[in-house]
Structure 1
């Protein structure tokens, strides 16, 4: 009996911490960006709005509620990862003597690159007609997303997204700081992708050196058109697989092609009604 009580106490201690961490990370990132957009709207941001349509208050409430549910799922996954580290299933370390700063930097870069690939292929999978109603429909109800849509997932999609970290840790040791930096990068880029306002330089559209970085327009077009731009951080996979929206560069420059605009306007009601 005492063993069970100790186990429950240990679970509660770890889970309460991960719950605050996961939900707090979402609220700080999404709420912080929403506040920044509001404060600086009159100082030029209104001219960088991507869609003419505005999200409704009901849209925002749905995004927040479903994102909080995802935060709960992520916290349970984080608790499982923590117990996996305690029992030696995963290698998560705190001492830099185990591996230096160089390994920390390489591991963070590597996890971001691999996560982008994981996101692209699972994202495309969830767009399959047989899987979409169960995995991805809720997220696409945000035709005009806001920062609060970052975690607005169906439960099965949240589980797929959560699965990445234990899969990664099964093969790659990580410093706790490296995990924190990756999670911070992930949520910041996630809320930026759903901002509804272009936050990146428009010069990315024609940049030889930095054009592979996703802009807000890139993911916003995915929500608006449904069948393009599946990547999260980079444009690599969309370029290689031919899934980049044909008008993406024009949209990012601020000069969208008329035929693409017409196609978007035609598909949005169908997505919203699905």
Structure 2
């Protein structure tokens, strides 16, 4: 998108401050440290036989099938772990640090407290303990989830305006979907990649489609009239 077009896609009126970005960056560094420790455990687990990995997929069909299965499993894991961390007895310790980002930036994608970073990192060893998976699939999933997570916290709607109008794409999350979770829809929109669990469990923000249409329906000349955060 051109810069002017991107500016018109800004979801919130509020802009993240330098302090917001600094906090998100420092907390992300902290999360990387946690992920590194868990990654070292995964390598040890593979070498010792506790976790299961094989060198390469036997075919493209196996590679694509395992990648899809890992994405679907992670989406389920994320939804329920995320929703659980919103419980009032767990929120302060696990998830409050992440929700300090009311107007998230891509740096917020991994801006976690240590306990939350650990919960998020544990998906890989849990998966490998159950499903033997080649390293190429794990790497593909890793790149996919980093990209999608950063997109979800971008602060600008990156998907085309027709995204929710067709069954081919309407089940795939948009930036607006997760932005609403940060900006006011605190107990809605827990999903990461897909909208399935939110729809099934009744946790999708009631104004999601309306807000998405409003954001993507702006033209470049109306970029100043950005909406305030929408609450459920």
Q: Which of 44, 48, 56 pairs up with 1:87?
A: 48
Structure 2 gap segments, 5+ residues each: 217-226
- Counterpart in the other structure of 1:194: 153
Question: Larger Rg: 1 or 2?
Answer: 1
Moved over 2 A (4+): 261-265
- Give the aligned length: 221
Q: Which of 108, 122, 125 pairs up with 2:67?
A: 108
Whole-angstrom distance in 2 between the partners of 1:119 and 1:95 = 26
- Counterpart in the other structure of 1:264: 230
Whole-angstrom distance in 2 between the partners of 1:248 and 1:202 = 13
2:39 matches 1:78: yes
2:199 matches 1:239: yes
TM-score by length of 1: 0.77
- DSSP 3-state at the match of 1:233: coil
Q: How does 1:15-30 map to 2 (within 5 A)?
A: none
Contact 1:222 1:229 in 2 (8 A): yes
Structure 1 gap segments, 5+ residues each: 1-36, 268-274
TM-score by length of 2: 0.91
Contact 2:28 2:112 in 1 (8 A): yes
2:216 matches 1:250: no
Shift in alpha-carbon separation, 1:215–1:86, aligned structure 2, 3 A: same
- Counterpart in the other structure of 1:41: 3
Contact 1:104 1:174 in 2 (8 A): no
Question: Relative to total residues, which structure has the larger helix share, 1 or 2?
Answer: 1
> Which structure is richer in relative contact order (CA contacts within 8 A, separation 6 or more)?
2
Whole-angstrom distance in 1 between the partners of 2:28 and 2:119 = 15
CA RMSD of aligned residues (A): 1.8
Whole-angstrom distance in 2 between the partners of 1:151 and 1:208 = 30
